[in-house]
Amino acid sequence: MKFHNSLFRSLLLLGLLAIGAVAPASAQVLAGSDDFSTDSGGASFWGVGERWRGAARTGGDAWWTTANGVLNFTTSTDQTAWLRWNSTATELPNTLANDWTAQITVSNLLNPASGYASAGIEIYTITDTRYNADLDADVNANAYYGIFLVNSSGTDGIVTEWGKWSDDIDDFSITSSDMMVTGDVTDVVLQLSWTASTSQLTASYSTNGVNFTTGQTFNLAGAEAGYDTPFNNGFTLELVGRSAEGAGAVALGQIVYDNMAVSAVPEPSTYAAIAGALMLGFAAWKRRRVKA
């Protein structure tokens, strides 16, 4: 038994060291988590932690801030803000060649007298490199796909939606938007799951954190493709907060996000690197045994 334990530890250590040397960085970018437990102490627009590279907004008074152990979206009037899950300085490093799943727990307590408010998660693709660092210009916009917890004049529900850029209107055209009435606005888990082999993005939700209901499945290589192939086969994962059509101000604690978690499956080339690394580890262990 001691021999096997020693063998296992030696292979594991040598293999992990070799994996660190050969595994591609792209397989490590997406995965991670954030429980927003560290408060920023005030409005913080350009990100609220190391996993958040930057943000964009439609107006000057839409903000992200961490307070009371959650992430808050606030605004004084109808506005939208996005917060991007990306800790690097390069736009769209996340590749659609990887399988991954992303979850966020949201609460939407606004209950507007008119219009609607929403809190959600989506992916966003571009078509080329013609972007500025903050994506203020949409000359390269392509398509988005998301799931949102919506409170609309007393009607609570889950909305799944996708849209693609239209040069005719110089904006996104909402191609499909479906709503499922849930009546639950507190601690709803929203999930996006990507399967690279089928180019399928599944949007689902759970009101208890255990059982998930599929809202919509998007085929990014088929019926729900953008107007062009995503640049560099990449995407950005982002949170969305919105007050629209007269919903008005959103105060601290009315639209909140918690427990962001993203798991990514390595690319096929990474599996090959792992196997090779373990073989190198085994060979090194054998050499040590022979010398001993």
Number of separate domains in the chain: 1
DSSP, collapsed to helix, strand or coil, labels residue 22 as helix
Is 239 inside a domain boundary? yes
68-108 pLDDT, tens digit each: 889 999 999 999 999 888 644 444 568 899 899 999 999 99
Is 71 inside a domain boundary? yes
Is 1 inside a domain boundary? no
Q: Rounded to the nearest 10 degrees, what angle do helices 268-291 and 2-22 cross at?
A: 130
Residue with more model confidence, 50 or 241: 241
Q: Which two tokens stand for residue 146?
A: 């998301």
pTM above 0.95, yes or no: no
Mean pLDDT, all residues of the chain: 78
Is 258 inside a domain boundary? yes
Is 17 inside a domain boundary? no
Q: Which domain holds residue 221?
A: 30-265
Is 14 inside a domain boundary? no
Category of 265 on φ-ψ map: left (φ > 0), alpha (ψ -120 to 50) or beta: beta
> What pLDDT is stored for residue 14 in this prediction?
43
DSSP, collapsed to helix, strand or coil, labels residue 16 as helix
Is 90 inside a domain boundary? yes
Residue with more model confidence, 174 or 64: 64
Is 226 inside a domain boundary? yes
Q: Which CATH number belongs to the domain containing residue 53 in this structure?
A: 2.60.120.200
Summarize the chain as % helix, strand, coil (round to 5). 20, 45, 40
